[in-house]
């Protein structure tokens, strides 16, 4: 059962590929059709960022913990505390039983007050109570967890379970907005056109590397304040670049909380 925080249409748009969902408005997709297939995979191989939670041996719970920590927080800061957190609490059982102060000690530097501690404990407790301490390999079941929204559920499905799904965060929305020249909603749940575009550029294989590349490209090249248009390898497909920065785009530079 999907969470009431995400509407049925949100989930259907985010989870159905264009082929499954039937006819869609193809205008936005066509605008990006010139970008070579596999571009973001290739870009990731040469320019992608390394973070410990991206290693293949990381458990689904480790991936989920990382995604919760990454909300509204720079990845470099998360990298300073994630290894110790998952070493001390490698499973939902251990994290659910941990004292709040012990978790706080490890994550307080990331900001957001106690929110993160409460989120980590709540999601861990729910995994123990409803899923025998396992992270479910199902988008709908992930969405039924507290503090898990569309971005996080998709990220866990792709990065932990290797599913072929798109991943959209606020930086990706900004990138798509600039590439297409369309104003887009900042809200990850409600920006349906961004999910549609993300589906349209998803390659048949390599969803993991493609999404890492897309997230990194949006977060490090097409940045909020100073997009690197001069050296951007896809500037020839970009409406924003062609129109000399005419468009007002999403100015958020953090991943944000999509719950
Ligand atoms: S040309 Fe500039 S605005 Fe367009 S995608 Fe590249 S970095 Fe972003």
- pLDDT at position 190: 87
Residues with CB under 6 A from ligand 1: 175, 178-179, 221-222, 227-229, 232, 234-235, 238, 240-241
Contact 122, 147 (CB under 8 A): yes
DSSP 237: G
The answer, yes or no, to whether residue 130 has pLDDT greater than 60, is: yes
The number of angstroms, rounded, from the C-alpha of 236 to the middle of its chain's C-alpha atoms is 26
Architecture category of domain 52-161 in CATH: Orthogonal Bundle (1.10)
Calpha distance 47→215 (Å, rounded)? 12
- pLDDT at position 33: 79
DSSP 53: G
**What average pLDDT does range 136-145 have in this prediction?**
98
pLDDT digits (tens, 9 = 90+) for 153-204: 999 999 999 999 999 999 999 999 999 999 998 889 889 999 999 999 999 9
> How far does the centroid of ligand 1 lie from the alpha carbon of residue 192, in Å?
21
The number of angstroms, rounded, from the C-alpha of 31 to the middle of its chain's C-alpha atoms is 23
Calpha distance 59→55 (Å, rounded)? 9
**Ligand 1 pocket test, candidate residues 220, 238, 246, 249, most atoms within 8 A of CB:** 238
> Which residues of the chain are in CATH 1.10.340.30 domains?
52-161
The two three-digit tokens of residue 152, written as one number: 């996080």
Nearest to 62 by CA among 159, 164, 207: 159
**What average pLDDT does range 217-241 have in this prediction?**
95
Nearest ligand 1 atom, CA 229: 2
The larger pLDDT score, comparing residue 251 to residue 231, is at 231
> How far does the centroid of ligand 1 lie from the alpha carbon of residue 245, in Å?
10
> How far does the centroid of ligand 1 lie from the alpha carbon of residue 234, in Å?
7
- C-alpha pair distances (Å), 110 with each of 78, 106, 207: 7, 9, 29
- pLDDT at position 244: 65
The answer, yes or no, to whether residue 140 has pLDDT greater than 90, is: yes
Contact 42, 206 (CB under 8 A): no
> Which residues of the chain are in CATH 1.10.1670.10 domains?
2-49+164-242
- pLDDT at position 21: 42
CATH code for residues 2-49+164-242: 1.10.1670.10
- pLDDT at position 2: 41
The larger pLDDT score, comparing residue 1 to residue 231, is at 231
Binned at pLDDT 50, 70 and 90, residue 246 comes out as: low
Across the chain, mean pLDDT equals 87
- C-alpha pair distances (Å), 60 with each of 138, 153, 192, 245, 246: 12, 11, 27, 40, 42
What's the predicted TM-score (pTM) here? Answer: 0.86
């Amino acid at each position: 059962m999907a969470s009431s925080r995400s509407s049925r249409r949100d989930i259907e748009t985010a989870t159905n590929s264009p082929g499954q969902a039937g006819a869609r408005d193809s205008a936005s997709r066509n605008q990006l059709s010139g970008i070579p297939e596999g571009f973001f995979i290739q870009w990731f191989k040469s320019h992608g960022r390394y973070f410990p939670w991206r290693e293949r041996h990381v458990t689904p719970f480790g991936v989920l913990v990382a995604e919760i920590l990454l909300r509204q927080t720079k990845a470099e800061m998360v990298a300073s505390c994630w290894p110790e957190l998952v070493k001390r609490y490698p499973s939902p059982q251990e994290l659910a039983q941990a004292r709040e102060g012990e978790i706080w000690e490890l994550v307080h530097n990331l900001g957001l007050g106690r929110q993160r501690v409460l989120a980590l404990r709540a999601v861990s407790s729910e995994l123990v109570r409803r899923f025998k301490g396992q992270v479910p390999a199902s988008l709908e079941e992930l969405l039924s967890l507290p503090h898990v929204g569309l971005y996080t559920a998709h990220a866990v499905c792709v990065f932990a379970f290797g599913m072929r799904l798109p991943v959209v965060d606020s930086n990706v929305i900004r990138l798509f907005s600039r590439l297409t020249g369309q104003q887009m909603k900042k809200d990850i749940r409600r920006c349906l056109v961004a999910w549609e575009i993300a589906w349209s550029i998803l390659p048949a294989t390599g969803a993991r590397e493609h999404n890492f590349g897309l997230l990194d490209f949006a977060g490090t090249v097409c940045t909020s304040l100073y997009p690197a248009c001069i050296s951007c390898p896809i500037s020839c497909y970009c409406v924003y670049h062609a129109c000399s920065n005419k468009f007002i785009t999403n100015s958020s530079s953090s991943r944000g909380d999509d719950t």
